[in-house]
């Protein structure tokens, strides 16, 4: 076994080790990775989401687990000895290697402007950088970003989210000059200034000064002076090639370790990948070529044919209320190149194709405002067009089918997956989107190619089943429509008329949810109780020891002292474990089944109701304190949150729903991690949709801006009802929006423009829900038949479950397992429950 040392634990270094795990089937390499940062590898492309509420865990890349792999974080290499094949770290540890891979990435370039090192000046590159910016923003009012490129705009968005009045200074006469032409750059500027950012294009910062109070002044060459408590430099990158220089490796003309087509440097045992590598004089600063280098290096190290071919550049930006994409030769530098342009300034849309001199081959593209064509254009890059070029970017023109794409077209540029790779996988049995993604890697990075994957499956004649289960050939959306149109009110009637068999654990809860969302009675009425899963059946969440949790609703997180006292008394009297949840509620855990009605009675008498923590329904509408208390608040977030929670409480849906209202752009309520989130502006409310936590966290997307309160509520009514009617079983709002034909744009057309003519019907359905809402706990307490369900043993209703026991930790009861007590792990008299 040979020793491979990888210096750098960023995205490209991580990709290399992943690729080696797949290719090194003979286990010839023992891998050590030295990472300079004190944390595992994370998604630096999504770094801006960290400023928008994402956590380190959200950004973390999948762990690299293998007996032959060590990942050492917080290890900085200070000396490289190519002759001795060693690398020494700051701690004095020496690592021997047989082969070495440099994956040290790049550093942000800070121009030597006088004053660039003053307090309050930062770079935007790592999580530590963002932590420092966040700390500095706590006492700041104004911010400035020097650099209006891709990273500069991400940095500006971060400052905006931190509540700073933000300026962007760009030397070129338009934004993102490396990716966009002037027409696209100027339209992007319109989008961004509409959000309140101040742009200064065609201007350079000559020097920075500071006042005794710590306010920095940026002096521009046009005579303008800007106040900026916080300054961020984002004007480019430089390869971190200090180790390559120290080791005497050949460098590229603009720095970086020079590599050949196998990613090998001038030393035969040293490879370089990512932003530290220079291939044919070019340092590539995007993730796609970095991934391609990592795969090439892995092939070379495992004896497979290896040849790095840089992908044509592709950039996509979804920030600041504008979608932007740039592909290939966006500036038409190819001799004889032709332009096809659609410039819809009124509609906020710009699209340009760059074609060969005979107008048959796509060389590049620029899209601003609407990037839906990117999924079609990316695989066509460098290939003969299937028809009229204008049809590819015209707003209403149909997209070409996947069969129009050549076999060599690269469908997924992030992972270098061609159409031929995908069709071969389909021929080998990958007949679902998930299996196709897992087998090829396509669609697992940025996701923009997923619509094309779906088209390939459809073109192959593989229809993606939408059947709810084996007992219903209809989709959940179809069954919802059937229930609404037919007036069917029971599961037995629905399966008799539109299904087969007796049903299963998949269709029964789904149909129960449909019936509940249609406002057809309590979920525990006799013909419906047996359909519910365990939690809905008992209106509480079952815990691992067989007890239940009780979560009363606390709208907007606002609660009186008397109600707090009641919760405390109930927890004390029933010896429950109490915990404040992340959604501003109190969770009472450890209640036995027969105790639930007694606990509910105490809570209901005090004015509480079910918080639906057990249901596929609205959970909470979280809020900050807004203008009531906060000096930064611009709207009353608490009042709105309470109004929304009381409006949508008990609303049954395909999956749980969460919401939040933030009273300013500082976003303390974390609204953009919710299914629908609202953020205050100076003139109204911005509405975001499609965010969620869970196994696949998503950040919500901006649906509408500056809405007044009546319009906001009307829009949310439509959004929620459209989701409830059309989503699949257990489908959260984020994947539902992604799977809509047209995605967010289609949703915006439906709920804002009423393109389907159903807005009034959606609003009426919500009004009916509001009018007929009743508390599920109170309904059970008032119905002896429903109360009879809450006993552990039917033949001994007052006997507690003997397998449930507790111990005390930090003065609170926590579960003790049956094994700890020497008891059987199955409960006696199970059949009589």
Residue-by-residue DSSP string for 301-334? HTTS-----PPPPEEEEEETTEEEEEEESTT--S
C-alpha to C-alpha distance for 332 and 387, rounded to whole angstroms: 20
Last residue of a domain, one of 757, 772, 787: 772
Give 197: exposed, middle or buried? Use CB within 10 Å, 0-12, 13-18, 19+. Answer: buried
Check if the beta carbon of residue 778 is closer than 8 Å to that of residue 772: no
Tens of pLDDT, residue by residue over 164-173, are 899 999 999 9
pLDDT (0 to 100) of residue 317: 66
* 74 assigned to some structural domain: yes
Residue 523 has pLDDT above 90, yes or no: no
Query: Which of 20-24, 82-86, 383-387, 543-547 has the largest mean confidence?
Result: 82-86
> Domain boundary residue among 532, 549, 567?
532
CB 383 within 8 A of CB 405: yes
CATH number for the domain harbouring residue 200: 3.50.50.60
Q: Among 235, 264, 290, which residue terminates a domain?
A: 235
DSSP string, 447-459: -TTHHHHHHHHHH
How much is the average pLDDT of 131-147? Answer: 90
Contact 833, 793 (CB under 8 A): yes
Residue 577 lies in a domain: yes
**Residues 558 and 659 reside in one and the same domain:** yes
Is this structure's pTM higher than 0.75?
no
Asked whether residue 288 is domain-assigned, the answer is yes
> Predicted confidence band at 275 (pLDDT cuts at 50, 70, 90)?
very high
Domain count, the chain: 4
User: Do 615 and 699 have their domain in common?
Assistant: yes
| Higher per-residue pLDDT: 430 or 617 | 617
Whether 284 and 5 have beta carbons less than 8 Å apart is answered as no
- The mean per-residue pLDDT over the stretch 415-439 comes to 83
Q: Are residues 193 and 286 in the same domain?
A: no
Residues 624 and 753 in one domain: yes
147 in a domain, yes or no? yes
Split at pLDDT 50, 70, 90, the class of 369 is confident
Could you give the CA distance from residue 87 to residue 269 in angstroms, rounded to a whole number? 13
Q: Find the Cα–Cα–Cα–Cα dihedral 724, 725, 728, 729, rounded to 10°.
A: 60
Least confident of 521-525, 619-623, 829-833: 829-833
Q: Indicate which CATH number applies to the domain containing 659.
A: 3.30.413.10
176 and 260 together in one domain = no
Residue 832 has pLDDT above 70, yes or no: no
Max mean pLDDT range (496-505, 691-700, 728-737): 728-737
DSSP label of 251:
B
Separation CA 165–CA 833 (nearest Å): 62
pLDDT at 520 exceeding the cut of 80: no
What count of Cα atoms within 13 Å lies in the side-chain half-sphere of residue 56? 10
What is the reported pLDDT for 707?
Answer: 95
Provide the CA 227 distance to its chain's centre, in angstroms.
Answer: 34
Q: How confident is the model at residue 299 (pLDDT cuts 50, 70, 90)?
A: very high
What whole-number distance in Å separates Cα of residue 73 and Cα of residue 39?
6
Residue 519 sits in the same domain as residue 577? no
Are 242 and 231 contained in the same domain?
A: no
Which of the residue ranges 248-252, 402-406, 740-744 would you say has the lowest mean pLDDT?
402-406
Q: Please tell me the predicted confidence (pLDDT) of residue 823.
A: 41
813 found inside a domain? no
Same domain, 28 and 152: no
Mean pLDDT computed over every residue of the chain: 87
Residue 822 confidence (pLDDT): 46
Highest mean pLDDT (candidates 343-357, 383-397, 548-562, 789-803): 548-562
**What is each CA distance from 554 to 303, 550, 558, 663, in whole angstroms?**
62, 12, 6, 19
Q: Hunting for tokens 């795990």 — which residue is that?
A: 21
Residue 314 lies in a domain: no
Strand partners, 70: 32
Residues 585 and 616 in one domain: yes
Cα–Cα nearest to 543, from 494, 614, 479, 492: 614
CA–centroid distance for 422 within its chain: 25
The per-residue pLDDT for 829 is 33
**Which pLDDT belongs to residue 437?**
81
Q: How is residue 560 written in tokens?
A: 């009186």
Give mean pLDDT, residues 92-120: 94
Instruction: Give the best-scoring range by mean pLDDT among 11-20, 38-47, 423-432, 726-735.
Output: 11-20
CB of 73 closer than 8 Å to CB of 39:
yes
Which has more confidence, 374 or 745?
745
603-631 pLDDT per residue, tens? 999 999 999 998 899 999 999 999 989 88
Residue 444 has what pLDDT?
67
| Helix (H/G/I), strand (E/B), else coil: 282 | strand
Same domain, 522 and 646: no
- In a domain? residue 688: yes
Q: 167 with 268, same domain?
A: no
Q: Which residues, in sequence order, are CB contacts of 293 under 8 Å at separation 6+?
A: 12, 259, 263, 273, 274, 277, 279, 284, 308
Query: CB–CB of 673/699 below 8 Å?
Result: yes
Beta bridge partners of 685: 680, 707
Q: How far is CA 768 from CA 375, 427, 648, 651, 750, in A?
A: 40, 49, 11, 11, 20
Give the residue numbers spanning the domain of 507: 476-532
pLDDT in tens, 301-356: 999 998 998 766 677 765 555 678 888 888 899 999 999 998 888 777 899 999 99
Give the pLDDT confidence score for residue 820 in this predicted structure.
Answer: 47
Percent of the chain with pLDDT over 90: 49
Let me know whether 131 and 57 are in one domain: no
pLDDT tens digits, 585-594? 999 999 988 8
Q: Are 464 and 457 in contact (CB under 8 A)?
A: yes
Q: For residues 273 and 320, give the distance between their C-alpha atoms in angstroms, rounded to a whole number.
A: 32
CA–CA dist 21, 64 (Å, integer) = 9
Q: Of 191, 194, 144, give the one whose Cα is nearest residue 167.
A: 144
CB neighbours (10 Å) of residue 807? Answer: 10
For the cut 50, the answer to whether the pLDDT of residue 833 exceeds it is no
Q: What is the pLDDT of residue 10?
A: 93
Residue 831 pLDDT level (bands cut at 50, 70, 90) = very low
Joined tokens for residue 437? 């993604």
Pair 423, 457: CB distance under 8 Å:
no
Q: Does the structure show a pLDDT above 90 at 457?
A: no
Q: Is residue 662 part of a domain?
A: yes
């Amino acid at each position: 076994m040979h020793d491979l040392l990888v210096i750098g634990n960023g995205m490209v270094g991580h990709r290399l080790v992943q690729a080696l795990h797949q290719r090194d089937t003979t286990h010839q390499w023992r891998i050590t990775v030295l990472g300079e940062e004190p944390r595992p590898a994370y998604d630096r492309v999504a770094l801006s989401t960290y400023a928008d509420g994402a956590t380190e865990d959200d950004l973390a890349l999948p762990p690299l687990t293998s007996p032959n792999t060590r990942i050492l974080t917080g290890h900085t290499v200070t000396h490289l000895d190519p002759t001795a094949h060693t690398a020494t770290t700051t701690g004095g540890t020496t690592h021997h290697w047989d082969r070495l891979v440099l994956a040290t990435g790049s550093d942000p370039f800070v121009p030597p402007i006088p004053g660039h090192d003053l307090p309050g000046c930062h770079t935007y590159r790592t999580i530590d950088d963002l932590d420092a910016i966040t700390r500095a923003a706590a006492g700041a009012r104004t911010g400035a970003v020097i650099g209006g490129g891709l990273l500069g705009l991400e940095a500006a968005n971060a400052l905006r989210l931190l509540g700073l009045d933000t300026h962007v200074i760009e030397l070129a006469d338009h934004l993102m000059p490396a990716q966009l032409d002037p027409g696209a750059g100027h339209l992007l500027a319109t989008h961004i200034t509409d959000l309140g950012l101040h742009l200064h294009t065609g201007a350079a910062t000559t020097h920075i000064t500071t006042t005794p109070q710590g306010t920095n002044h940026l002096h521009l060459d046009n005579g303008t002076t800007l106040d900026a408590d916080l300054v961020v430099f984002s004007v480019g990158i430089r390869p971190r090639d200090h180790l390559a220089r120290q080791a005497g490796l050949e460098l590229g003309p603009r720095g970086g370790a020079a590599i050949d087509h196998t990613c090998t440097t001038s030393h035969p045992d040293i490879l370089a990948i990512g932003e530290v590598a220079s291939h044919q004089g070019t340092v590539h600063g995007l993730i796609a070529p970095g991934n391609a280098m990592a795969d090439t290096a892995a092939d070379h190290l495992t004896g497979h044919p290896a040849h790095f071919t840089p992908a044509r550049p592709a950039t996509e930006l979804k920030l600041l209320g504008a979608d932007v994409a740039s592909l290939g030769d966006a500036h038409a530098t190819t001799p004889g190149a032709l332009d096809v342009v659609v410039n819809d300034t009124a509609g906020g849309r710009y699209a340009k194709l760059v074609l060969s001199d005979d107008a048959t081959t796509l060389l590049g593209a620029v899209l601003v405002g609407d990037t839906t064509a990117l999924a079609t254009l990316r695989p066509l890059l460098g290939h003969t067009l299937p028809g009229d070029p204008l049809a590819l970017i015209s707003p209403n023109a149909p997209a070409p089918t996947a069969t129009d794409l050549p076999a060599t077209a690269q469908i997924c540029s992030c992972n270098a997956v061609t159409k031929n790779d995908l069709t071969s996988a389909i021929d080998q049995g990958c007949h679902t989107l998930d299996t196709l993604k897992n087998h090829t890697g396509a669609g697992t990075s940025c996701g923009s190619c997923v619509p094309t994957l779906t088209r390939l499956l459809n073109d192959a004649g593989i229809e993606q089943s939408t059947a709810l289960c084996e007992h219903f050939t209809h989709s959940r959306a179809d069954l919802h429509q059937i229930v609404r149109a037919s007036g069917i009110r029971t599961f037995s009637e629905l399966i008799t008329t539109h299904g087969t068999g007796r049903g299963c654990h998949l269709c029964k809860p789904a149909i129960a949810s449909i019936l509940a969302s249609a406002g057809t009675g309590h979920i525990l009425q006799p013909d419906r109780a047996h359909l519910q899963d365990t939690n809905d059946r008992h209106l509480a969440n079952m815990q691992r020891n067989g007890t239940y949790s009780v979560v009363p609703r606390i709208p907007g997180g606002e609660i009186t002292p008397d109600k707090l006292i009641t919760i405390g008394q109930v927890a004390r009297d029933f010896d429950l474990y109490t915990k404040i949840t992340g959604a501003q509620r109190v969770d009472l855990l450890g209640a036995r089944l027969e105790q639930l009605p007694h606990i509910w009675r105490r809570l209901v008498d005090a004015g509480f109701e079910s918080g639906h923590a057990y249901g596929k329904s609205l959970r909470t509408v979280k809020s900050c304190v807004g203008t009531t208390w906060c000096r930064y608040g611009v709207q009353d977030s608490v009042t709105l949150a309470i109004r929304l929670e009381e409006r949508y409480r008990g609303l049954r849906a395909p999956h749980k729903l969460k919401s939040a209202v933030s009273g300013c752009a500082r976003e303390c309520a974390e609204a953009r991690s919710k299914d629908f989130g609202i953020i205050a502006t100076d003139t109204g409310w911005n509405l975001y949709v499609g965010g969620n936590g869970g196994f696949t966290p998503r950040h919500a997307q901006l649906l509408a801006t500056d809405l007044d309160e009546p319009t906001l509520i009307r829009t949310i009514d439509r959004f929620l009802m459209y989701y409830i009617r059309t989503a699949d079983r257990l489908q959260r709002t984020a994947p539902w929006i992604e799977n809509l034909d047209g995605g967010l744009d289609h949703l915006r057309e439906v709920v804002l423009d009423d393109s389907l003519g159903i807005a009034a019907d959606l609003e009426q359905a919500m009004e009916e829900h509001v009018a007929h809402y009743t508390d599920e706990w109170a309904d059970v307490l008032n119905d002896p038949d429903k109360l009879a369900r809450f006993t552990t043993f039917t033949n001994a209703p007052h006997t507690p479950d003997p397998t449930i026991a507790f111990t005390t930790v930090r003065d609170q009861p926590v579960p003790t397992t049956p094994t700890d007590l020497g008891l059987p792990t199955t409960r006696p008299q199970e059949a009589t429950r």
